[in-house]
């Protein structure tokens, strides 16, 4: 959504006609007067579906640099998503997988392996777009009214940036459309800490009884002990603690606080609000 907003703000600045003559002064039609010369420029802009610039932009290349920066932001967002997919596809996690297609992403040496091929492409292309967009900022510093070599940077990198951005979006849309989600793996991973993952909820619950900072330090110490008591649940460690006992909190309340499903905040409402935009 922010990228849509950026693009709507960017397009009026970017899509402007360039018609000013050799030095940008409209000298070849200046004899017809200011109004006529600018009417000619305005007519050309209208015919091409472009805006009319305030002044010639031969060596004012910020518009080109801005579109490069926008493409870097756009592909960077796609890359963030793709990176998470790569990590979530790891065998030890297994929460999501790229859409399956026979032999796509298959390892040439390990038949059991499925590489996150789309995510790899997305992150690689986004990184390249980011690097190439930096060159457009180099092209900002043109000499006098005619650049000697810097415009050519745009000719080299802008087509590549545009092509890579398009390809990034194609792969991202495909990935989103067919993403395989495994809730059972998510639930299993949430349970690896035996409730410790929602220690904040426990801290806040205890904080109402013994004070927030005291509860923080207490829960912190208990969580550190979990590494040495891997077979003991977080709730059992809490119940065995003398300070927790003195707080008067019940086992039922601790069970409720240690259930991740009870600590999702307003995530459902937030997602729904975004989807409704």
Residues 189-222: tens digit of each pLDDT: 998 888 889 999 999 999 999 999 999 999 999 9
Q: How confident is the model at residue 262 (pLDDT cuts 50, 70, 90)?
A: very high
Let me know: does 219 contact 199? Beta carbons within 8 Å.
yes
User: What is the pLDDT, as a whole number, of residue 229?
Assistant: 62
Let me know: does 258 contact 235? Beta carbons within 8 Å.
yes
Q: Check whether 16 has a pLDDT greater than 70.
A: yes
- Which residues, other chains included, contact 251 with Cβ-Cβ below 8 Å and sequence gap of 6+? 235, 239
Average pLDDT over residues 128-132: 98
Out of 8, 61, 63, 146, the active site residue is 146
Q: Check whether 31 has a pLDDT greater than 90.
A: no
- Which residues, other chains included, contact 86 with Cβ-Cβ below 8 Å and sequence gap of 6+? 116, 119, 120, 123
Condensed to tens digits (0 to 9), the pLDDT of residues 142-171 reads 888 777 888 899 999 999 999 999 999 999
Closest CA to 71 of 168, 5, 174, 172: 168
Out of 6, 13, 63, 107, the active site residue is 107
User: What is the pLDDT, as a whole number, of residue 112?
Assistant: 76
Residue 107 a catalytic site member:
yes
Average pLDDT over residues 85-101: 93
SS3 letters for the chain? Answer: CHHHHHHHHHHHHHCECCCCCCCCCCHHHHHHCHHHHHHHHHHHHHHHCCECCCCCCCCCCHHHHHHHHHHHHHHHHHHHHHHHHHHHCCCCCCCEECCCCCCCCECCCCCCCECCHHHHHHHHHHHHHHHHHHHHHHCCCCCCCCCCCCHHHHHHHHHHHHHHHHHHHHHHHHHHHHCEECHHHHHHHHCCCCCHHHHHHHHHHHHHHHCHHHHHHHHHHHHHHHCCCCCCCHHHHHHHCHHHHHHCCCHHHHHHHCCHHHCCCCHHHHHHHHHCC
User: What is the pLDDT, as a whole number, of residue 237?
Assistant: 92
**Report for 99-108, 119-128, 187-196, 234-243: range of highest mean pLDDT:** 119-128
Q: What domains appear along the chain, each with residue ranges and CATH number? A: 17-56 (no CATH), 57-185 (1.20.200.10), 196-262 (1.10.40)
Of how many residues is the chain composed? 277
């Amino acid at each position: 959504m922010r990228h849509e907003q950026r693009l709507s703000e960017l397009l009026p600045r970017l899509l402007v006609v360039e018609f000013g003559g050799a030095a940008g002064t409209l000298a070849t039609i200046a004899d017809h007067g200011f109004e006529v010369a600018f009417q000619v420029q305005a007519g050309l802009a209208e015919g091409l579906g472009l805006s009319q610039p305030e002044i010639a932009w031969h060596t004012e290349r910020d518009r080109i640099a801005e579109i490069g920066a926008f493409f870097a932001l756009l592909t960077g967002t796609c890359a963030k998503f793709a990176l998470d997919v790569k990590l979530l596809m790891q065998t030890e996690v297994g929460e999501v997988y790229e859409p399956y297609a026979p032999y796509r992403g298959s390892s040439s040496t390990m038949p059991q392996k499925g590489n996150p091929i789309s995510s790899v492409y997305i992150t690689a292309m986004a990184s390249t777009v980011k690097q190439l967009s930096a060159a457009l900022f180099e092209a900002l510093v043109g000499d006098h009214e005619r650049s000697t070599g810097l415009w050519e940077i745009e000719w080299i990198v802008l087509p590549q940036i545009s092509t890579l951005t398009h390809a990034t979006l194609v792969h991202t849309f495909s990935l989103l459309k067919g993403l395989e989600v495994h809730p059972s793996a998510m639930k299993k991973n949430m349970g690896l800490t035996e409730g410790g993952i929602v220690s904040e909820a426990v801290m806040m619950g205890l904080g109402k009884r013994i004070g927030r900072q005291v509860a923080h330090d207490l829960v912190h110490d208990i969580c550190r002990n979990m590494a040495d008591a891997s077979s003991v649940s977080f709730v059992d460690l809490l119940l065995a603690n003398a300070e927790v006992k003195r707080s008067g909190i019940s086992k039922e309340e601790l069970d409720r606080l240690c259930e991740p499903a009870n600590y999702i905040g307003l995530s459902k409402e937030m997602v729904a609000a975004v989807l409704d935009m």
